[in-house]
Amino acid sequence: MAAVWVMVTYNLSGASADTALGALLLASLATLFMQSALLTGPVRQQLGTGNATTEVREWMTASLPLLFAQGFFLLATSLDVFVLSAMVDPEQVGIYFAAAKIVTCVSFVQMAVAAAITRRLSEAT
């Protein structure tokens, strides 16, 4: 991500959405390998070595409903952007998407404040 920031800040060529996506994928892979390297030793030391078994059927039975629920939620939250992108220019879709995400952040703050106030109100009664 720092590489993309430098490219955009200093107006270097090659700073595009494709570059940002590539940087995101590389950063994700670097994080995966770093966490694996840092955690493998301590976990192996605590748990020891043994025969590892993977219960694929049970794992799939537990994870598939979660996958479908999260997939439907993602589709439901992005459907407006898909429909809008078929009707207007990409710049307008980007502005709409940014505005929708700002509203989501504001509603998250409102929910957090309401949760804190609710606890205090319940203690007061």
pLDDT in tens, 68-103: 999 998 888 888 888 998 999 989 999 998 888 888
User: Please, which pLDDT band fits residue 67 given cuts at 50, 70 and 90?
Assistant: very high
Q: Which of 101, 19, 13 is nearest to 1 (CA)?
A: 19
For the whole model, what pTM was predicted? 0.43
pLDDT computed for residue 12 by the predictor: 67
